[in-house]
Structure 1
Amino acid sequence: MSVRFRRHYHLLLLFVAAVVVSGVALRNNRITAYTVAGAESARRPTVNYNNRLDLFDATVVHEVVVLIAADDQKKMVTTYQQTGNKDWFQADIIIDGVRINQVGIRLKGNASLRMAAGGGMRGGMRGGPAGGNFAPLDGAPVPQEAQPPGAGRFRPPEGFQAPGGVPPQEGAGFSGTPTGALPYLVKLDRFVKGQRYQGLAEIALRTAGAFSDASVLQEPVTNYAMNSAGVPIARSAYVSVQVGDGQPRLYTVAEHVDQTYVDRLFPDSNGVLYKAVQPGNTFAYLGEDPTSYANVFDQETAINRADLAPLIAFIRFVNEASDQEFAEQLPGRFDVVAFADYLAVHNLLANNDSLAGMGHNYYLYYDFDAKKFTILSWDANESLGKMTMGGGSQMDIYWERVGGMFGRGFGGPAGSGRGTHLLLKRFLATPAFRTLYTERYRLLYERIYGRDLLAPKIRELTALVTAYNAGRGIVAQAAYNAAANKVLDFVAQRNEYLKSTDLLRP
């Protein structure tokens, strides 16, 4: 043994010991390590946990267990109730048997979260009064029929009838019972840089939405229909979620719209993603100051490489262009086919909780090279007529009679306001774009209703949950069956109405 080798022998022993310990500690997890360099390193994982079961395999009910300290779990909810803040907390998570330590978790959502959390709703919605209960976003008085009593829990308007005739209660969803289950966002790299699960940095654990529905079918059925019709939407699947010592509940797990999602959808593009965050926004031009849009849009990606300038320029164009300029120049600035598809599919599936209804739940992606925007969908848990007061089956094809969750009196601040989204209004008022919309509407109708996509999928998902639920009790089976039957009835009623319209009548 050489002198040099003897001198460093102890270092070799330490290295071997470290390798052995690491192998034992990680023997149950499959981990892929990446070497990253350059400007792209922020978009690539450094540690990626794999699993034989794809997270969005819709043929199984997935399982997620969130291991979080009881005090942190309680603080997460009380902080939101008292301040409206959705603070991050550290937890460990087990996804389909694979454990990942030190992830971030926080509450997620707007109306769905307020319904589930109950109690005070201070500042929970953008533009709401800091330190006060929910009010219309423009500061107007809350109409008496929608005034939240006492602690700020939702009280249905006088004479309100929920689908199925179930009498609603304060703080309740369409089922007549408090929604309970809380929606969460899990950020795998919040505390460990570059940490991923199956390439994902973030996943959303989503509930039935603002109005309780035991089947939680709206999102998986809508996403399936949109994917089948060729309209981009986040991947999703049923999942059993247990948080802390709570009981497992039926949720959906959804791909979060972030840089990873953009890279999957536009693999060769270079751009920036904006999220519409203000319910009720009408796409009003508020000037060139980016801070004026702080409560209306969030910049989600390219934080150090871009700003709101492309978005503000597009909003200014939509507001100030003449009819001729709008008709001639919009296709060069905006993917009009994607927008026609967006409007058509949300109408076909009666999703009022979208740009065309509530003025939010969409993203705008700007491609720097093409100098062009495209629209992306998000959040379909109020689809299939849930937010139309039971009348969604006859939602007007051109979005002229939509209905809403609260009816009159819920407007918004500058940039949100009451009334139709200006981009929608001008698009459908332009003859060439209205013609495009009707053509795409007919095509998507045939892809969804003409092929009878929905009813078989609903029955398939019902059978899946029923089989999984036996002996587990993540949902009351009778309530699930009743809710699933209502969704089936709605789909049939929507199709019958559509077939009776001038556009689709044989």
Structure 2
Amino acid sequence: MLPRRIAHRIPVRVRHYWKLLATCAATLLAFAVVFSTVRVAPLVTSASDADGDEVSVNIAGTTDLFDATTAHKIKITYRSDAYEELLDSFWKDGEKEYLEADLTVDGTTVPSVGIRLKGNSTLQGITRDGEARPGGFGGGRGAVPQGAMPEGGPPDGGGFRRGGGGGRTSLKTEEPENLPWLIRFDEFVEGRRYQGHREIAVRVGGMGGGAAVLNEAVSLHVLAAAGEVTQRYAYTSFTVNDRPTTARLIVEHPDENFAGAIGGDGVLYKSMASSQFTDQGDDPTEYADDFKQITKKGSRDLQPVIDLIKWVTGASDAEFDEHLGEHVDVASLARYAAVQNLLVNFDDMAGPGRNYYLWYDLAAKRFSVVGWDYNLTLSGSATQDPAEPVSMGGGMRGGGGDVPPPEDTRLPEGAGPMPAGGGGRGGFLSGHRLKERFLASAAYRDDYRKAYKELFNRIYGNASALNAVDAITAVIGTVDGADAAATATEAENLRTLIRERTRFLVTNEIVTG
């Protein structure tokens, strides 16, 4: 019994019903003990087709942001102390936090947008006051920044050609006008879009190509011309505070607006750089480092992706050959695989960046692979075999086997395990079970060859790629901050690679039939 003086301090109703309250408390405690080790899986309670995010304002602007035939203007203004705080967070914890900034695009001012650093391996070589970030490459011995290529190019005989005049590029925090950025319109103003876009990416130069990233722009151009699902792009002058103006490539970032352009009703999922495409059980939280759901959050979930992974990794060869079409749009997958080879892109869904999206068609209940991040295209070997996987540097093997990584090489965060023996079949880091099994299957060889021949004619056979170089170079010449001499060199290198690739492929038996 409590002392009387203490008992009288307890409210009368509590004293009257203390036995009932004690019973409830005991029951809750028992539930906590019994169920504390039971996994609770998130459930979707709605079958609605609506996306979770509502658009409250859509800024029209004055010019189509992704009109690639005209020069655009972007100016970003932010507080210097806020920028330093952003860098502090990235340096200490690797977190890419959003910085509040005012944006002016083609004369239209958009206050309080969010901008953050973008990229994984891209940012490994970044320096601050001349010092590398802990865990980053920072220009040290054996470093592989940007395009994952040692300084001076690959070993002799590697067959690597810098289609855009690429190579090592130094990123400095003191030069924000040269850094890779993601601009988000609704980070600080809920429900806001610009011409339907939630996010746009400001691409960085010096990866597979040169400062103008001409190789990526040409790839996006020819893919769109060939009727493939791809992102829109444009060139813009880019000014940060009172820093010098530079010419930058901006690319449509796959979001709900991009998903609408794919056509049909479906769900878009993004592969993360750390994705391994391996069966990790039924708990959706175990796949948080593998895939991010982009659309229909709250009405759909990750279960279709989990089911696909389980099937691809668990099906026998006979089952794979017979039932792949029930899970994946085979014609779409054939075109995707053909495009990556044609454009000599080693950093696709099977590359270290795991650069791809999955589109799940709700009507057909099948997946398609959507390409993304083409800044390492058209920078490898012009003699890349259509029947062989593209390796490090876009075909660095050059007939002499895989090129091992340089001594003391440090790999990008989240890039996956190093294959045994260092190089592996695809160079540094590569592999994706869906793509590998598809290309290895005799049942789908004709699908791949048919797609390859058709896309060769649309990309190289009709001179589309060469013409794109000329057209895009002309636009870049009108952009404030463009380096005319560097762009001209980049364009000529790219033309040379395209001509050599065309000559090599035009006699290949897959193309000749």
What TM-score comes out, normalization by structure 2 length?
0.76
Q: CA shift at 1:179, angstroms? A: 4.6
**Is 1:188–1:201's contact at 8 Å kept on the other side of the alignment?**
yes
Q: CA shift at 1:94, angstroms? A: 0.5
Match of 1:402 in 2: 391
Find the residue that maps to 1:263 and give its secondary structure. Answer: helix
**Is 1:45–1:195's contact at 8 Å kept on the other side of the alignment?**
yes
CA distance in 2, matches of 1:414, 1:358: 5
**Is 1:217–1:458's contact at 8 Å kept on the other side of the alignment?**
yes
Equivalences for residues 317-336 of structure 1 within 5 A: 317-336=311-330
CA distance in 2, matches of 1:476, 1:204: 21
Greater relative contact order structure (CA < 8 Å, 6+ sep):
2
1:439 aligns with 2:434: no
Q: CA shift at 1:258, angstroms? A: 1.0
What TM-score comes out, normalization by structure 1 length?
0.77
Q: CA shift at 1:321, angstroms? A: 0.7
Q: Among 476, 483, 493, which residue is 2:490 paired with?
A: 483
Residues 40/321 of structure 1: CA separation in 2 closer, same or farther (3 Å cut)? closer
CA distance in 2, matches of 1:407, 1:230: 37
Q: CA shift at 1:292, angstroms? A: 3.0
RMSD of aligned alpha carbons? 3.4
Q: Among 100, 112, 120, which residue is 2:132 paired with?
A: 120
Find the residue that maps to 1:237 and give its secondary structure. Answer: strand
Q: CA shift at 1:424, angstroms? A: 1.2
Match of 1:27 in 2: none
1:68 aligns with 2:74: no
Tell me the alpha carbon deviations over residues 164-216 of structure 1, each in whole angstroms, 9 at most, x when there is no partner: x99x9xxxx93455255111111111111221111111111112253561232
Equivalences for residues 218-367 of structure 1 within 5 A: 218-266=215-263, 268-269=264-265, 271-278=266-273, 283-358=277-352, 360-367=354-361
Decide which moves more: 210-219 or 112-121.
Answer: 112-121
Find the residue that maps to 1:504 and give its secondary structure. Answer: helix
Q: CA shift at 1:399, angstroms? A: 3.3
Residues 432/148 of structure 1: CA separation in 2 closer, same or farther (3 Å cut)? closer
Q: Among 88, 101, 105, which residue is 1:91 paired with?
A: 101
Q: Structure 1: where are the runs of 5+ without partners?
A: 1-37, 123-131, 136-143
CA distance in 2, matches of 1:431, 1:439: 14
CA distance in 2, matches of 1:155, 1:348: 21
CA distance in 1, matches of 2:298, 2:52: 12
1:374 aligns with 2:384: no
1:174 aligns with 2:171: no
Q: CA shift at 1:457, angstroms? A: 1.4
Find the residue that maps to 2:318 and give its secondary structure. Answer: helix
Tell me the alpha carbon deviations over residues 219-249 of structure 1, each in whole angstroms, 9 at most, x when there is no partner: 2111111111111001111111112222121
Tell me the alpha carbon deviations over residues 455-501 of structure 1, each in whole angstroms, 9 at most, x when there is no partner: 121112212222x25xx4x1332122111111111111111221232
Residues 332/487 of structure 1: CA separation in 2 closer, same or farther (3 Å cut)? same
CA distance in 1, matches of 2:88, 2:496: 39
CA distance in 1, matches of 2:58, 2:361: 28
Find the residue that maps to 1:316 and give its secondary structure. Answer: helix
Residues 308/39 of structure 1: CA separation in 2 closer, same or farther (3 Å cut)? closer
Tell me the alpha carbon deviations over residues 408-428 of structure 1, each in whole angstroms, 9 at most, x when there is no partner: 485998976635311111101
Tell me the alpha carbon deviations over residues 410-458 of structure 1, each in whole angstroms, 9 at most, x when there is no partner: 5998976635311111101222212100000000001111110011211
Amino acid at match of 1:146: G
**Is 1:238–1:252's contact at 8 Å kept on the other side of the alignment?**
yes
Find the residue that maps to 2:273 and give its secondary structure. Answer: coil
Return structure 1 stretches of 4+ with deviation > 3 angstroms: 38-44, 115-122, 132-135, 144-149, 152-155, 157-163, 173-177, 209-212, 356-359, 404-419
Match of 2:463 in 1: 452
CA distance in 1, matches of 2:377, 2:144: 24
CA distance in 2, matches of 1:237, 1:198: 14
Residues 256/414 of structure 1: CA separation in 2 closer, same or farther (3 Å cut)? closer
Q: CA shift at 1:51, angstroms? A: 2.7
Q: CA shift at 1:262, angstroms? A: 0.8
1:464 aligns with 2:475: yes
CA distance in 2, matches of 1:456, 1:155: 29
Match of 1:18 in 2: none
**Is 2:124–2:136's contact at 8 Å kept on the other side of the alignment?**
no
Equivalences for residues 27-46 of structure 1 within 5 A: 40=50, 42-46=52-56
Find the residue that maps to 2:352 and give its secondary structure. Answer: coil
Equivalences for residues 204-223 of structure 1 within 5 A: 204-208=201-205, 210=207, 213-223=210-220
Equivalences for residues 92-107 of structure 1 within 5 A: 92-107=102-117
Residues 209/194 of structure 1: CA separation in 2 closer, same or farther (3 Å cut)? farther
**Is 1:274–1:365's contact at 8 Å kept on the other side of the alignment?**
yes
CA distance in 2, matches of 1:297, 1:346: 21
CA distance in 1, matches of 2:412, 2:110: 43
Amino acid at match of 1:274: Y
**Is 2:461–2:502's contact at 8 Å kept on the other side of the alignment?**
no
CA distance in 2, matches of 1:154, 1:345: 21
Match of 1:77 in 2: 87
CA distance in 2, matches of 1:414, 1:224: 28
Residues 63/193 of structure 1: CA separation in 2 closer, same or farther (3 Å cut)? same
Match of 1:10 in 2: none
**Is 2:125–2:132's contact at 8 Å kept on the other side of the alignment?**
no
Residues 148/355 of structure 1: CA separation in 2 closer, same or farther (3 Å cut)? closer
